[in-house]
Structure 1
Amino acid sequence: MTISRFRRTASTALALIAALAPAAGLAQAQTATRFLEKPVDMDPSSATAYRPFEAFAPLTLPQPVNQYRSGNGLPGPAYWQNRADYELHARLDTSKPDTPTLSGDVVIRYTNNSPDALDRLWLQLDQNIYRKDARAAVASGGRPRPGATDGFVIRTVTVDTGDGKGGDGKGGDGKAVSLPFHVDDTRMWVDLPRPLAAKGGKLALRIDYGYTIPGTWGGRTAHTPTRNGEIYEIAQWYPRMAVYDDLRGWDTLPYLGAEFYLEYGDFDYTVTVPSTMLVAGSGELVNGAEVLTPTQLKRLDHARASDATVMIRTPEEVTDPRSRPRDTGEMTWHFRMKNTRDVVFAASAAFVWDAARVNLPEGRHALAMSVYPVEGVGPERWDRSTEYLKASIEHFSSRWFPYPWPVAVNLGGHGAGMEYPGMVFDGYKDQGKGLYWITAHEIGHTWFPMIVGSNERRDAWMDEGTNTFIDIYAQDAFNHGEYAPKRDGEYAPGGGNPVDEILPLLTDAAAPNIINAPDGMTEKYRHPVSYFKPALGLVLLREQVLGPQRFDDALRRYIRAWAYKHPSPSDFFRAMESGAGEDLSWFWRGWYFNNWAVDFAIRKVEYADGGPGKGALVTLAALDRLVLPATLQVEYDDGSQRSVRVPVETWRGQAEATIRLDGGPAIRRVTIDPAHALPDTNRGNDVWSAPTP
C-alpha cells in the first residue's frame, strides 16, 4: 500500500535502511585451519531454539510449476495473459464546487487469450469504496471514508456481439446489445449473450457512467483547495477490467484499501475541463497545439533538450489570462499511453508547470514534468521536484530497466503519496529531503508494480518492499549523496544502527508474516511488514548472502522476464534462486513465510596447547530459529585483525559450530557481525574479550 502522510511520518525510519553495508572484509575472509584445545574462560549462554532440520527442510512454494510458470521462475512456454485496451472520454463538471462530478464513457476492447471460454466479465468499481455501505467501511470499524459519495453511477452497459474474432480489428461487427449488470460492493459483473471464445476471442464493452468526486481523502481521487483554485486529482475514475489469470481465474477481491491488479493495454483518452485549467495526465499529450499557448509549446520544445528545469508556466503567469489560449468555455485534452495498466490525470487553474529532459539508456529520452500550486514554490520545495524526478528515473533506468513511457509527471496536490503509471500524486507542502524521498519512492513504483505487474491486492510486499529496496540505492546516488543514507535520525537517536529497528517486529509473537494478505494487517504492522521487512530482506540477500553482482543480475533478469506480466510470489522466489544459482529456501522460510529472528552467540574461545602460537578455536551458537551468513572479526594484541566468513552452511546440521584459527598473536577480542549488518536480537552475546591479566 502506498504511504499516506500519516504513515509516511511513522514509517520513514522503518524504510530507511541504506546505512546497511556489506560486512567489513568479506572479500578478504579467511578460512580457519587448526584445531585447538585449552579454553579461555567464558560462561556458555542459554539453550538454543534453533532446529537445523526445520530451518533447512525442503520448501514447497504456494504456486506450482506448470506450463504457464516455469521452475526457473520465468514465464512458461504456454504463459498467457488477457488484454484490455481502453478508449475513454470524460468531462469534469465544477459548477457545484462542493460536489464536483465526473461523467464519462469507456469502450473496453477486451481480448481473451486464456484457454477458457468466458461467459461472464468482471470489472472493478473502485469509487464504490466511498459509499456508506462499502465493505471497506465495515473493515475499518464501521466508518465510511471521509468525503463519502454514492460511488459509481452506471447508466448503461452494452456489448458488441460480433463473432468474437474481431474481424474489424475492434472486437466485433457493430451489433451493440444492452446487457444487465450486477454491482456488488466494488465489483461489477455482466453475463455475456454467448461465451467469449478462448485463445483470442475479442469483444467491445461500452459503459456510460459518472460519480461525485470525493473530498481530500487519500490523494487517490480528490479535490483540494489552493489560493488560485481547486486541484482535481482524478484516479480510479473509470470501470476497470478485473484480471483473469492462470492462478485463480477471475481475481475479484473487493477493494478495501489495498491496491491494484490490472490488465495491460493501450489507452486513448480525452478530458474536457473548463478552459482556465491545465491538465496533466498519464501518457503523452497529442493535441498540445489546441490547448496550450505558442509560448508554452516553445518552452516544452526547449525542455525536451534541457537537463536543467525549464519553466512552462511560471508562478507569475498562473493568474495571467494570457497563459491560456482562452479563458471561457471548455477545452478537451487528448492523451495516449501504450502498454500500461492504468491512466490518471489532474486538472487545475492553479498549476505552475516545469519540465526537463530525462536521459535513458541507448540514447532514448523522456520528459519529466511537475505541476503544483504557487504555495509549493521555493528553492528547497517544488522548484526542485523535476530535478528529483529526473534523477530518480535516470537512476532506476540505468540500474534496473529503462523507463518505458515518453512522459513522467509529479503532481503537487493533496499529498498522500500515491503512484500511477506515468504520474504520481504527492503533496505541495512537501519540501527538502521529504520531497525528494516521496518523489523517488512514488516514481519507483513505475518498476514495481507498473512494469512488473504483481498483484498488490494480495501481495503488497512484492511492490512496496521491492520499491523501498531500490529507493535505498537511488538515495545514495542522488547528487553525491545529498540526502543519503536512507534513514531517519528521529527513530535512531544518536545515529543508531537502523537495522536494529526491525528487532521489535522480529520479537513480536503477534506480528504477521510478509506473505500475509495486506487487507488483514492492522495499521501497526502494515508498513513494517509490507515495506520495511521485505526491503531489508533484499538488502540482506544482496549484501550478505549473494553479493551485489549475483543479486543484481538475478533481479534484472526477473524484471525483464516479467515486464508487463503477472508474476506470483513463487515466481519471484524461483527467479532469484535460478538467476543467482543459490538455494535460498532457508531464507524464504525464515524471513518471508515466518517471522523468525537471528541470535548468534560466542560460546567460548580456546587456545591450543596453552598459547596463541598453536592457534585458537572459537565456538559459536545459533540461539534462535533463523541463521544467516556472518562475519567473525578477530582482533589481536598487536593491533592486527582477521575477518573470517561464517557461511550459512555452517548451521545445516548443528546449532553450535567451531571456527578454527591459525596461530598468531594473543587474541584480544572476537566479534560476530562486527558491522551490525545482521538483525541480531541480542548484541550482548556477540563479543568475547580476553580476561584482564
Structure 2
Amino acid sequence: MKLKVTLLSAFAYIGLTAQNIQNNPGSNHGNKFEQLGTILPTPNIYRAASGAPGQGYWQNRADYEISAYLDEDKRNLKGSETVTYYNNSPDDLDYIWLQLDENQQSNIKNADYDNSSTLPRMASDQQLRTTDLPAKDNGYGVNLEKVTDASGNNLKYVVNKTMMRIDLPKILKKGEKFVFKIDWNYNIPNRIAKGGRGGYENFPEDGNDLYTMTQWYPRMCVYSDFQGWQNHQFTGRGEFALVFGNFKVSMNVPADHVVGGTGECKNYEQVLSSDQLARYRKAQNANEPVEIVTLDEAKKAEKNHSKQRKTWTFEASNVRDFAWTSSRKFVWDGMSVTIPENNNKVMAMSFYPKESYGLYRKYSTKAVAHTIKTYSEFTIPYPYPVAQSVEAANGMEYPMICFNYGRTEKDGTYSEGIKNGMLGVIIHEVGHNFFPMIINSDERQWSWMDEGLNTFVEYLTEEKWDNKFPSKRGPAWTIVDYMKLPKDQLEPIMTNSENITHFGPNAYSKPATGLNILRETIMGRELFDKAFKTYSKRWAFKHPEPADFFRTMEDASGEDLDWFWRGWFYGTDPVDIAIEKVTIATPDLDAVPKSNEVKYKVDKPVQNDFEDISKIRNREDKNITFYVDKDKDVQDFYYRYDRGQEKVDTNKEYSFKVDNMASLDTKDKEKFKNITAYQIDFANKGGLVMPIILEFTFEDGSKLHDKSSAQIWRHDEEKVSKTYYFNKKVKSIQLDPMRETADIDTSNNFWSDGGSGSESSKFQVFKQKQQDGIRGGANGKVNPMQAAGKKN
C-alpha cells in the first residue's frame, strides 16, 4: 500500500531497538563485519540455511465459498461463507483463528492501540465533540449472525477485538480438513471520512457511491512453522498475513452496478449487455485498451438508480485474499497482454469514474500491462489471468485488483504531479501482486518485506516506464533527509509495523534504497538480479521470513552481506564518510641509499620461558619415551646445544651490512619523474560502513574513478587511508560523486588542490637489488652451528 506522506504525521509510535550482538564492542574493528549468527533463527527442516524452503516445509490452506449482498440504501454488506481449512502442519490443532478486520472501524471492538494526544491549536467542528466515557458504539464492525460446522451445529467461538477464535469440536490432525460456515453483516464505512482501506466514497454531485470491498469477510489467520498462529491485532497499519486457497464468490448488487474483483468473472453473459459482452471479447485480443463500459454508458447509469438486482460470480485459484469493487459510475476498459517468460495471456483492465477519465483512459491499463511485464522480468512470471486497476482516491492492493488515485480537474486538465503520482501508485499497487500476494510475507510483522521490496521493484519499473520519471523512493539520495534525523526518532527496519514512528521512510524508502545500493554499488546488477529472482522463485506461493531473504541473497550471489543487513536493516547509523586529509608526496629520485650495519649476537639455545606442568609430568611419567632420545640419528648439533652439551660464545658481537637498495639510473628517473602520490585519509563519522567511491579530476581535465569495497573498513571501522600514484597532478577528489551511498553530509566529500586539509611531503625512491640466498636462509647472519665450527 502506498500511504500519502501527509498522513504519516498522524501516527506516533514508540520504536524498538533491534538486537545488536557484538563480540568485540570495546574495539574499533571486528563488530560491523561480524556474521549475524544468533540474530537470525536457526535453520531447520522447514527453512534451510541456504534461505530456501527446507525439505519439511509446509503451509496450511483455506478455500472459501462466499455469497455477498450489497445493500446500497442502508450501506450494509451481508455475507455468508463456507470455509474449508486444511491442516498440513505436523501439529494437532484444537482451535483456529480468524481475522475480523472491520472491527478496526468500531470504537468498541477495535484493537485498542491508543496514541498519545494533545490539545489542538485549532479544531474543526467534526473534531470538537464531547468525549464519551464509556465509549458509545458507533455502529461499525462485524456483526456475527451464525457460526456453525458443515452440518449446521453451532460452534463455540470467542471474539477478541479484531480476532476471532473458533474452538473445534475435535482435534484437527495433520492431513485433515475442517469445514465451517459463518453468516455476518456490517455497516460499510465512509472511507473518505473515516479512513481505512475499504468502504464507500460518495459523490454528492450525482448522488452515487463507489464501493471498495476489502477485508470484508472473516479471513483465516496464518498458522506457520516460525510463529504458530499469527493473531496480532489489526490496528489499521500493519497489514495482513493470509493463507492461500481457492475462492468462489457471488456478489448480489444493484443491477446497474459494474463489478470488478479478484479472479475471473464466470457469468459475464448474464450481467453484461450484448454490446458490452462483444466489447469485452474484443478487448481479450486487443493490444490497445477497449472501453467495455463506455463513458456515455457510465454517465447514463449515474442518473438512474436501478431497484433491480444482479449477481456477479467470480472464481480465483491459489490466491491469499479476495477483494471487489462495485459502482454504477464505472467506465471499464481492458486489453490483452502476454507475459513473455511463461506465455501467459493476461487481461489488463481498469475501472474508473468519469472524474478520472482524462487520466485513466489514457494511462491506467497500459501502466497495468507495463507493470506486470516488468515485474515478471525481475521476479517471477505473472501467473494470474487478470490484473486490474480501480480509481478510488486511495492506494491499496489485493490479488489481481488494486485501488488507486488520480483525478482530473473538472475541465479535464491535470497537473504533472497528479499524473506522475497516479502512475506511481498504479505501478506500486499492481506490483503488490508479486509482493506480498504471491511471495507471501507476513505484513503484520514485517512491513518492509511487503512495502520495501515492492517499492524497490516499483522504482525499477518506473525507470523502464520513463527514464525521466521523478521517483521519490529508491535512489540513494532520496533517503538522506530521513537518515539525518536524530537517533531518538529512528527505528531499525527490523521493527514491528506498529512500533515505527516514520512509517513511510522506514517501511518503504529505506529498504528500497538499500536494495538499490546493493544492486548498483555493492553487488552489481548481474549478481543482484540473479539472487533476487532466486528469492522470488523459491518463495512464490509460500511464506518467507527475513532470514530467508537475507540468506538467499547471499547464497545465490556468493557475497557476504551480513555487514549490510546488520548496518542497514538492524541499525540506525547513517552513512557519513568524510575526506579528512590528503597528503601529497613527490618522489626524491636523486636520493642515495645508505648501507646499514646490523650488529647482533648468535642465538641462545631455544628453551621455553616457563616449564609448564605438562612437560614436567611427561618427564616424570616412566611410560613415556621421547622420540629424540631413542633415535640417535635425529640428535644433531642443536639437540646437544639445547642441553648444554655444545658450548658457543653467545656474548660475542657480530655484524653485517644491509645493502639492498641502489640509486635510480637515468632511465628510471625519466620513468618516474611525473609521479605524485596522494594519501587520502577517510573518517567514518556516521557509523555505517559503505564502499569508498572516488572521482579524481586532473589538471588536464581528465577523470578517473575507483571504488574500494566496504571491507576496507574491516580492520578499523573509524578511520582508513588509501594511497594512489598518478603521473599527472590531481586537481580535485570527489567522494561518492553519483550519491550512491546515501551519505548524509556531502560537505566533507570534496577536496581540491591548494584547499584546506592538505599536506605535502617527499619520499625517497631506490632501485631494489637482486638478493642472494634461498628461502629460509639466514640472510648473512652467523648461526650457532657456524660459531661452534660444527656441521652436525
Same fold flag (TM > 0.5): yes
Q: What is the match of residue 632 of structure 1?
A: 694
Shift of 1:104: 1.1
Q: What is the match of residue 248 of structure 1?
A: 227
- Of 642, 646, 659, which residue of structure 1 is paired with 2:704? 642
1:219–1:369 CA distance, 2 compared to 1 (3 A) = farther
Preserved CA contact (<8 Å) 2:107 2:137: no
TM norm structure 1: 0.85
| Deviations, residues 553-597 of structure 1 (Å, cap 9, x unaligned) | 101000111011111111111111111111111111111111112
- Of 396, 404, 407, which residue of structure 2 is paired with 1:429? 407
Preserved CA contact (<8 Å) 1:630 1:646: yes
After TM superposition, the structure 1 = structure 2 runs for residues 259-408 of structure 1, keeping only pairs within 5 Å, are: 259-320=239-300, 327-361=306-340, 362-378=342-358, 380-408=359-387
Preserved CA contact (<8 Å) 2:530 2:556: yes
Shift of 1:350: 1.2
| Deviations, residues 190-214 of structure 1 (Å, cap 9, x unaligned) | 111110012x111111111111111
Preserved CA contact (<8 Å) 1:499 1:677: no
Q: What is the match of residue 46 of structure 1?
A: none
Preserved CA contact (<8 Å) 2:103 2:110: no
Counterpart CA distance in 2 for 1:219 and 1:374 is 23
Q: Percent identity?
A: 34
> Does structure 1 residue 518 correspond to structure 2 residue 518?
no
Shift of 1:395: 1.5
Q: What is the match of residue 231 of structure 1?
A: 210
1:368–1:10 CA distance, 2 compared to 1 (3 A) = farther
Preserved CA contact (<8 Å) 2:420 2:469: no
1:487–1:639 CA distance, 2 compared to 1 (3 A) = same
- Of 85, 101, 104, which residue of structure 2 is paired with 1:126? 101
Shift of 1:617: 2.8
Moved more, 210-219 or 557-566: 210-219
Preserved CA contact (<8 Å) 2:108 2:137: no
Preserved CA contact (<8 Å) 2:147 2:180: yes
> Does structure 1 residue 683 correspond to structure 2 residue 746?
yes
Shift of 1:309: 1.1
Q: Pick 1 or 2: higher relative contact order, CA cutoff 8 A, min separation 6.
A: 1
Preserved CA contact (<8 Å) 1:120 1:191: yes
After TM superposition, the structure 1 = structure 2 runs for residues 72-151 of structure 1, keeping only pairs within 5 Å, are: 72-96=50-74, 100-136=75-111, 138-141=113-116, 148-151=138-141
Shift of 1:79: 0.5
Preserved CA contact (<8 Å) 2:301 2:328: no
- Of 146, 156, 159, which residue of structure 2 is paired with 1:180? 156
Aligned-residue Cα RMSD (Å) equals 2.7
Q: What is the match of residue 510 of structure 2?
A: 533
Shift of 1:323: 13
Counterpart CA distance in 2 for 1:680 and 1:322 is 53
Counterpart CA distance in 1 for 2:751 and 2:569 is 32
Structure 1 SS opposite 2:291: strand
Preserved CA contact (<8 Å) 1:344 1:420: yes
Structure 2 SS opposite 1:688: strand
TM norm structure 2: 0.75
Aligned letter for 2:451? E
After TM superposition, the structure 1 = structure 2 runs for residues 213-224 of structure 1, keeping only pairs within 5 Å, are: 213-216=188-191, 217-218=194-195, 220-224=197-201
After TM superposition, the structure 1 = structure 2 runs for residues 12-27 of structure 1, keeping only pairs within 5 Å, are: none
1:428–1:628 CA distance, 2 compared to 1 (3 A) = closer
Shift of 1:428: 5.1
- Of 585, 590, 613, which residue of structure 2 is paired with 1:607? 585
Shift of 1:364: 2.0
Please list every run of 5 or more consecutive structure 2 residues that lacks an aligned counterpart in the other structure: 12-25, 118-130, 409-417, 589-672, 761-792
Q: What is the match of residue 397 of structure 2?
A: 419
Q: What is the match of residue 469 of structure 2?
A: 484
Structure 2 SS opposite 1:189: strand
* Bigger radius of gyration: 2
Shift of 1:50: 9.1
Aligned letter for 2:272? L
Preserved CA contact (<8 Å) 1:147 1:215: no
Structure 1 SS opposite 2:35: coil
After TM superposition, the structure 1 = structure 2 runs for residues 26-37 of structure 1, keeping only pairs within 5 Å, are: none
Q: What is the match of residue 543 of structure 1?
A: 520
Q: What is the match of residue 549 of structure 2?
A: 572
Counterpart CA distance in 2 for 1:320 and 1:146 is 41
Aligned letter for 1:152? V
- Of 138, 144, 148, which residue of structure 2 is paired with 1:154? 144
Counterpart CA distance in 2 for 1:194 and 1:223 is 40
Preserved CA contact (<8 Å) 1:147 1:214: no
Q: What is the match of residue 452 of structure 2?
A: 465
Shift of 1:177: 2.6
- Of 193, 208, 225, which residue of structure 1 is paired with 2:169? 193
Moved more, 211-220 or 232-241: 211-220
Counterpart CA distance in 1 for 2:137 and 2:52 is 43
